[in-house]
Amino acid sequence: NSFRTNPEFSTADAIQALGVGEALVSVLDEKGAPTVVQRTLIRPPASRLGPLSPGERAGVMAASPVKGVYDAAIDRESAFEVLKVRAIARSGGESARDAPAPRTPTRTRAPSGGRDRQTLTETFAKQFLRTLAAAAGREILRGVLGGMRRR
């Protein structure tokens, strides 16, 4: 490549001499320093915008290495459902076979005395106080260190 061997290398001349599909690139070496700019060919992207046609989609799925593995949707029994059935069976109310297993977990509210989530107001107030305390601490530290520097 004439740009690499030429000691009078000019980036402006190199840019003007670039052809279609070429670019000037520089990479980092092992120590993190940039290397000399070099000409290279750019590979055009192999992607496209827009959806696949049904035929293209079928072809991609047929050539997939996981063909058949994820084709059928399986709704397995969750740990929540298994534990719910065990809890009902232990309580003696119904047998484990007769107990209906809920399909979605239900959320229950914690008692008001033991809630563990903060309201939006509490979160805002806590964050505001933290910011205020940090700013006050910075100002105190600047005052102390600034007074020491003047002496």
Report domain extents, the chain: 2-41, 75-105
* Nearest one of 36, 41, 44 to 6, comparing CA atoms: 36
The pLDDT tens digits for 128-146 are 999 999 999 998 888 888 7
Mean pLDDT of the chain, nearest integer: 80
pLDDT at position 9 over 90: no
Mean per-residue pLDDT, 44-60:
87
Asked if residues 57 and 46 have their Cβ atoms less than 8 Å apart, the reply is no
Pairwise pLDDT comparison (51 vs 102), residue with the higher score: 51
pLDDT range class, residue 125, cuts 50, 70, 90: very high
Q: Is 121 helix (H, G, I), strand (E, B) or coil?
A: helix
Mean per-residue pLDDT, 29-38:
89
pLDDT range class, residue 96, cuts 50, 70, 90: very low
| Range list of β-strands (E), the chain | 22-25, 38-41
